Structure 1
Amino acid sequence: MFTINIEKECGCFKKSDLENNQSFEDKDDALIEAMNMVNFMNEAFCQKHDFIFSEDGHNFQIAVNEKAKTHSGCCGGGHCS
Protein backbone atom coordinates (compact mmCIF):
# COMPACT_ATOMS: atom_id res chain seq x y z
CA MET A 1 0.00 0.00 0.00
CA PHE A 2 1.35 3.41 -1.02
CA THR A 3 0.07 6.62 0.57
CA ILE A 4 0.14 10.30 -0.44
CA ASN A 5 0.22 12.58 2.59
CA ILE A 6 -0.05 16.37 2.64
CA GLU A 7 1.96 17.57 5.63
CA LYS A 8 -0.02 20.79 6.10
CA GLU A 9 -3.41 21.47 4.57
CA CYS A 10 -3.46 25.13 3.57
CA GLY A 11 -6.72 26.98 2.96
CA CYS A 12 -6.57 26.40 -0.80
CA PHE A 13 -6.16 22.66 -0.24
CA LYS A 14 -9.13 22.58 2.14
CA LYS A 15 -11.29 24.40 -0.45
CA SER A 16 -10.22 22.06 -3.26
CA ASP A 17 -11.59 18.64 -4.16
CA LEU A 18 -8.20 17.05 -3.42
CA GLU A 19 -7.96 14.41 -0.70
CA ASN A 20 -5.23 13.90 1.87
CA ASN A 21 -3.91 10.44 2.81
CA GLN A 22 -4.87 8.74 -0.44
CA SER A 23 -3.83 5.08 -0.67
CA PHE A 24 -2.87 3.12 -3.77
CA GLU A 25 -2.03 -0.52 -4.39
CA ASP A 26 0.43 0.35 -7.16
CA LYS A 27 3.50 2.54 -6.60
CA ASP A 28 3.38 3.99 -10.11
CA ASP A 29 -0.24 5.07 -9.63
CA ALA A 30 0.67 6.79 -6.36
CA LEU A 31 3.68 8.50 -7.96
CA ILE A 32 1.64 9.77 -10.91
CA GLU A 33 -1.13 11.07 -8.62
CA ALA A 34 1.40 12.79 -6.29
CA MET A 35 3.06 14.51 -9.25
CA ASN A 36 -0.33 15.57 -10.64
CA MET A 37 -1.38 16.93 -7.26
CA VAL A 38 1.83 18.93 -6.82
CA ASN A 39 1.58 20.36 -10.33
CA PHE A 40 -2.07 21.30 -9.83
CA MET A 41 -1.42 22.86 -6.42
CA ASN A 42 1.53 24.91 -7.71
CA GLU A 43 -0.45 26.15 -10.73
CA ALA A 44 -4.01 26.58 -9.43
CA PHE A 45 -3.62 27.61 -5.80
CA CYS A 46 -3.09 31.19 -4.54
CA GLN A 47 0.71 31.21 -5.09
CA LYS A 48 1.54 31.91 -1.41
CA HIS A 49 3.15 28.47 -1.14
CA ASP A 50 5.38 26.12 -3.09
CA PHE A 51 4.51 22.44 -3.01
CA ILE A 52 7.12 19.71 -3.40
CA PHE A 53 6.97 15.98 -2.87
CA SER A 54 9.39 13.37 -1.70
CA GLU A 55 9.27 9.61 -1.46
CA ASP A 56 9.90 7.67 1.73
CA GLY A 57 9.45 3.98 1.07
CA HIS A 58 5.72 3.45 0.72
CA ASN A 59 4.82 7.08 1.38
CA PHE A 60 4.79 10.17 -0.80
CA GLN A 61 4.99 13.30 1.33
CA ILE A 62 3.86 16.63 -0.13
CA ALA A 63 5.53 19.49 1.72
CA VAL A 64 4.25 23.06 1.88
CA ASN A 65 6.79 25.88 1.82
CA GLU A 66 6.13 29.60 2.12
CA LYS A 67 7.22 31.40 -1.02
CA ALA A 68 10.01 33.91 -0.48
CA LYS A 69 8.88 37.47 -0.96
CA THR A 70 10.90 38.95 -3.79
CA HIS A 71 9.34 42.40 -3.87
CA SER A 72 12.08 45.02 -3.50
CA GLY A 73 9.78 47.96 -2.96
CA CYS A 74 10.46 49.29 -6.44
CA CYS A 75 7.42 49.95 -8.58
CA GLY A 76 9.27 48.96 -11.74
CA GLY A 77 9.02 52.41 -13.32
CA GLY A 78 12.76 52.61 -13.93
CA HIS A 79 13.42 55.61 -11.70
CA CYS A 80 14.62 53.76 -8.55
CA SER A 81 18.14 53.00 -9.80
Structure 2
Amino acid sequence: MFTINVARECGCFKRSPYENNMQFDNKDDALIQAKAMEKHMNEKFCGKHGFVTEETGDTFTIHVGEKQHASAGGCCGGGHCS
Protein backbone atom coordinates (compact mmCIF):
# COMPACT_ATOMS: atom_id res chain seq x y z
CA MET A 1 0.00 0.00 0.00
CA PHE A 2 1.07 3.56 -0.77
CA THR A 3 -0.05 6.51 1.32
CA ILE A 4 -0.45 10.24 0.70
CA ASN A 5 0.12 12.12 3.94
CA VAL A 6 -0.36 15.85 4.45
CA ALA A 7 2.19 16.80 7.10
CA ARG A 8 0.18 19.70 8.53
CA GLU A 9 -3.47 20.28 7.72
CA CYS A 10 -4.03 23.99 7.16
CA GLY A 11 -7.55 25.44 7.27
CA CYS A 12 -7.88 25.34 3.47
CA PHE A 13 -7.03 21.64 3.47
CA LYS A 14 -9.55 20.94 6.22
CA ARG A 15 -12.26 22.69 4.18
CA SER A 16 -11.28 20.89 0.96
CA PRO A 17 -12.72 17.59 -0.25
CA TYR A 18 -9.30 15.96 0.23
CA GLU A 19 -8.60 13.42 2.95
CA ASN A 20 -5.35 12.89 4.79
CA ASN A 21 -3.60 9.50 4.70
CA MET A 22 -5.28 8.33 1.49
CA GLN A 23 -4.17 4.82 0.53
CA PHE A 24 -3.50 3.38 -2.93
CA ASP A 25 -2.68 -0.10 -4.18
CA ASN A 26 0.03 1.05 -6.57
CA LYS A 27 2.72 3.69 -6.61
CA ASP A 28 1.73 5.33 -9.89
CA ASP A 29 -1.81 6.09 -8.72
CA ALA A 30 -0.51 7.51 -5.43
CA LEU A 31 2.08 9.69 -7.19
CA ILE A 32 -0.42 11.00 -9.74
CA GLN A 33 -2.90 11.88 -6.99
CA ALA A 34 -0.24 13.47 -4.74
CA LYS A 35 1.04 15.70 -7.56
CA ALA A 36 -2.52 16.64 -8.56
CA MET A 37 -3.28 17.57 -4.94
CA GLU A 38 -0.04 19.59 -4.66
CA LYS A 39 -0.86 21.50 -7.86
CA HIS A 40 -4.45 22.19 -6.81
CA MET A 41 -3.42 23.28 -3.32
CA ASN A 42 -0.75 25.66 -4.68
CA GLU A 43 -3.10 27.16 -7.27
CA LYS A 44 -6.50 27.19 -5.54
CA PHE A 45 -5.91 27.50 -1.82
CA CYS A 46 -5.63 30.93 -0.12
CA GLY A 47 -1.98 31.49 -1.05
CA LYS A 48 -0.60 31.79 2.48
CA HIS A 49 1.19 28.45 2.17
CA GLY A 50 3.23 26.60 -0.39
CA PHE A 51 3.00 22.84 -0.86
CA VAL A 52 5.61 20.36 -2.02
CA THR A 53 5.49 16.56 -2.30
CA GLU A 54 8.29 14.35 -1.00
CA GLU A 55 8.54 10.59 -1.56
CA THR A 56 9.87 8.44 1.28
CA GLY A 57 9.48 4.71 0.79
CA ASP A 58 5.77 3.93 0.38
CA THR A 59 4.65 7.38 1.53
CA PHE A 60 4.18 10.61 -0.41
CA THR A 61 4.22 13.44 2.10
CA ILE A 62 2.84 16.85 1.11
CA HIS A 63 4.71 19.39 3.21
CA VAL A 64 3.09 22.70 4.08
CA GLY A 65 5.20 25.82 4.52
CA GLU A 66 5.18 29.55 4.03
CA LYS A 67 4.69 30.49 0.41
CA GLN A 68 7.88 31.57 -1.36
CA HIS A 69 7.42 35.00 -2.90
CA ALA A 70 9.18 35.92 -6.12
CA SER A 71 12.36 37.87 -5.65
CA ALA A 72 12.29 41.53 -6.59
CA GLY A 73 16.01 41.46 -7.45
CA GLY A 74 17.01 42.80 -4.03
CA CYS A 75 14.52 45.66 -4.22
CA CYS A 76 11.82 45.89 -1.57
CA GLY A 77 9.39 47.42 -4.05
CA GLY A 78 9.11 50.70 -2.18
CA GLY A 79 10.02 52.75 -5.24
CA HIS A 80 13.19 54.28 -3.84
CA CYS A 81 15.72 51.90 -5.46
CA SER A 82 15.53 53.35 -8.97
Q: How many residues align?
A: 77
Q: What CA deviation, in whole Å up to 9, does each residue of 1:8-55 have, x standing for no partner?
A: 000100111111100000100000000000000000001111100110
Counterpart check, 1:51 vs 2:45? no
State the identity as a percent. 53
For 2:41 and 2:67, the matched residues in 1 are separated by 13
TM-score in terms of structure 2 length: 0.85
Unaligned runs of 5+ in 1: none
Counterpart check, 1:64 vs 2:64? yes
Amino acid at match of 1:16: S
Instruction: Give, in angstroms, the shift of residue 73 of structure 1.
Output: 6.1
| Alpha-carbon RMSD | 1.7
Amino acid at match of 2:42: N
TM-score in terms of structure 1 length: 0.86
> 1:15-26 to 2 correspondence within 5 Å?
15-26=15-26
